[in-house]
Amino acid sequence: MTPPLVSVQELWFRYDDGPPALRGVSLEIRRGEWVAVLGCNGSGKSTLVKHFNGLLKPWRGRVLVEGVDTRRRQVGEWARLIAYLPQHPDRIIFSASVWEEVAFAPRLQGVSGAELERRVNAALEALGLRDAADVPPAALGYGLRRKVALAAVLAQEPALLILDEPTNGLDAGSARDFLEVVAQRHRQGTAVVLITHDLELAAQYAGRAVLMQAGEIAADGPARAVLGDAALLRKAGLEPLPVTHTAHALREAGLAGLPADLLLPEEFAEAYVRAAAGGGEVGQ
Amino acid sequence: MMLDLYVRADAWYHRFDPRTKFGLTLLFVVAAALIRNPLAMFALLALLHILPLSSRVPPARLLAAWRPLWPITLVILVLGSFTWGAGAASVWWRWGQVSVGPASVLQAVTMALRVDALAFAFSLLLWTTEQGELVAGLTRLGLPHSASLTLAMSMQFVPTFGRIFGEIMEAQESRGLVIPRNPLRAARAYLPVLIPLIITALRTVDHLAMALAARGYGAASRRTSRRQLRMRRADALALAGGTVVLLVVLLARGL
């Protein structure tokens, strides 16, 4: 059996002399998974994923990438396998043109010639940035800079793509377009770890959800089960999805036949119509 | 997230008027510049640790201040010990122009401690004085308000940009950037880190200027101030005592 892409074993971490930010976290990320990492501010989400490519080193425990301890290599050496998109696009943008920006990481991996052209053009094409290839990325608007940053990490063609709050500051439509590009890569086999506060996006894209609370894993399981557990989410400081609220209220009011794991508005509408048509009337 | 260096506390050094703290900082700087005896310099540095600790600045803040300082200290110690001994009568080891002896080591120790003392003198001011007090104090000393605000904000933004530098470093390392050990190659390798830092700094300044303008900064010809500064007896005593101690120590010991 192939080893997991990332294996986190009894991980403890603290910043300087502060209290532990992670307390005995263990989990595995396998190839091709889409994992949403959820939790309120300060729960340890970013701290956890920064261990996946060695940006942070364990205080106790260990993190293995394809069976190799992250402490045994420099961060840059993991870039072939793991790409990390920070919250702010301006943390990575420095080149004179969008094309050069996207080519930066593949070049560091030794990619050149036709293969470099292919990677960069594929990433620009996926994000609709072909026409902006020669523009200085720093001069673009925020939404486009976010796209450039995503194109830059997609061109790394990693086995695991870590996205830290990638839709912050984007309108709902742009956020969805953004994650559709990631979903396309995911369908081609790239594993995705998505840190987000947007439970609806997590419900729509992630197959698995890891819920963090005070540096510990409060839940790790199918996204549908974790996101549908209102009590669990509230305990971790998150507000359940409106659909979960509404479905719960309707069931309490007597509408039989509504499933307990509804997350998305479309699912809710379909289930409601079916339940109402099946004789489950409100107020029964 | 640490946005500035100020440590909120109702402690004795915090309660001094900002002008007193400027004066005391100046005394520490003069002392650090004039003292030549390594033991006296060590005593000054120790004092600059005791003062913040006794004014409830957490030890972690002092340790954080040492983190960027110790490599500088080490470089001064090594370079100074090997290069400041030329012409000395007593040397332990010599190779051409490079030599190590008691005189060069003592001089290097003094210089390293001097740099540390200067850093801690300014840190003490920033740990114990909030931005509004800094601005009010500088304005009362005659600096135009816009200049005081610029200076105070520049000082307070140092840790913010330190944090952003760390975040950029993380992001570029994740893309495969490895900083070589060779200093010349390392300088070039830092470009992908420094350019985003400069762009972020310019954006921050632009946003800050707009935010200040939107709140009416510069619109009124006369500003009022909620903060009324008042020198108390403790301020006068601290300044007078500090000056006397400095003079006595410098004159009596011939330091």
- Residue B89 above 70 pLDDT? no
Per-domain boundaries in chain B: 1-129+229-255, 143-223
CA–CA dist A46, A109 (Å, integer)? 25
Helix H or strand E segment including B66: helix B59-83
pLDDT above 90 as % of chain A: 71
Higher pLDDT, B80 or B51: B51
Chain B positions touching A139 (Cβ under 8 A) are none
Q: Is B96 left (phi over 0), alpha (psi -120 to 50) or beta?
A: left
B160/A contact by beta carbon, under 8 A: no
The CATH architecture to which A1-81+158-224 belongs is 3-Layer(aba) Sandwich (3.40)
CA–CA dist B168, B200 (Å, integer)? 10
Per-domain boundaries in chain A: 1-81+158-224, 91-155, 241-284
- Residue B1 above 70 pLDDT? no
Q: Across all residues in chain A, what is the average pLDDT?
A: 91
- pLDDT at res. B142: 85
- pLDDT at res. A236: 93
Each residue of A208-246: pLDDT tens digit? 999 999 999 999 999 999 998 888 999 999 998 988 888
Q: Is A55's CB within 8 Å of B64's CB? A: no
Chain A positions touching B205 (Cβ under 8 A) are none
Q: In chain A, which residue ranges form alpha helices assigned H by DSSP?
A: 45-49, 98-108, 113-127, 142-154, 172-187, 199-205, 223-227, 230-235, 242-252, 265-277
- pLDDT at res. B239: 93
CA–CA dist B251, B238 (Å, integer)? 20
Chain B nearest C-alpha distance from A92 (Å): 6
Give the Å distances, CA to CA, from A33 to A29, A40, A86, A260, B78.
Answer: 7, 23, 20, 24, 52
CA–CA dist B48, B46 (Å, integer)? 5
Each residue of A59-69: pLDDT tens digit? 999 999 999 99
Kindly identify which residue of chain A lies nearest to residue B204, measuring between CA atoms: A90
Task: Please give the radius of gyration of chain B, using alpha carbons only, rounded to the nearest integer.
Answer: 22
Kindly identify which residue of chain A lies nearest to residue B196, measuring between CA atoms: A94
Helix H or strand E segment including B124: helix B102-128
- pLDDT at res. B255: 53
Quick one: pLDDT band at residue B48, thresholds 50, 70, 90?
Answer: very high
Main-chain phi, psi angles of A221, to 5 degrees: -175, -170
Q: Is A76's CB within 8 Å of B173's CB? A: yes
CA–CA dist A43, A33 (Å, integer)? 22
Kindly identify which residue of chain A lies nearest to residue B170, measuring between CA atoms: A55
Do B109 and B73 meet the contact criterion of CB atoms below 8 Å apart?
no
- Residue A279 above 60 pLDDT? no
- Residue B46 above 90 pLDDT? yes
Burial class (CB in 10 A: 0-12, 13-18, 19+), B180: exposed
Higher pLDDT, B163 or A161: A161
- pLDDT at res. A283: 39
- pLDDT at res. A1: 62
Each residue of B177-215: pLDDT tens digit? 988 877 777 778 889 999 999 999 998 888 888 888 888
The sign of the CA dihedral B231, B235, B241, B243 is negative
Which of B209-229 are b and which e, b meaning 16 or more Cβ less than 10 Å from the residue's Cβ? eeeeeeeeeeeeeeeeeeeee
Do B40 and B113 meet the contact criterion of CB atoms below 8 Å apart?
no
Q: Is B174's CB within 8 Å of A84's CB? A: yes
> What ipTM was assigned to the predicted interfaces of this complex?
0.82
Interface of B with A in 91-110 (CB under 8 A): none
Considering only CB atoms, B199 lies closest to which of A80, A105, A138, namely: A138
Give the Å distances, CA to CA, from B170 to A5, B173, B179.
Answer: 21, 5, 12
Q: Give the residue-averaged pLDDT of B103-113.
A: 90
pLDDT above 70 as % of chain A: 97
**Least confident among B33-37, B221-225, B246-250:** B221-225
Give the Å distances, CA to CA, from A210 to A23, A136, A188, A224, B126.
Answer: 15, 38, 23, 11, 41
Chain A positions touching B170 (Cβ under 8 A) are 50, 55, 75, 84, 86, 91
Chain B positions touching A78 (Cβ under 8 A) are 174
Considering only CB atoms, B176 lies closest to which of A17, A86, A109, namely: A109
Each residue of A191-212: pLDDT tens digit? 999 999 889 889 999 999 999 9
Beta bridge partners of B94: B99
- pLDDT at res. B217: 81
Each residue of A78-93: pLDDT tens digit? 999 999 999 999 999 9
Quick one: pLDDT band at residue B96, thresholds 50, 70, 90?
Answer: confident
**Least confident among B48-62, B107-121, B181-195:** B181-195
CA–CA dist B128, B7 (Å, integer)? 6
- Residue B130 above 50 pLDDT? yes
Q: Give the residue-averaged pLDDT of B140-164.
A: 82
Main-chain phi, psi angles of A160, to 5 degrees: -135, 130
Q: Which two tokens stand for residue B186?
A: 């390392």
- pLDDT at res. B146: 81
Among residues A51, A3, A43, A53, which one has the least CA distance to residue A26? A51
Chain B positions touching A104 (Cβ under 8 A) are 175, 192
Count of CA atoms in the C-beta half-sphere (13 A) of A276: 9
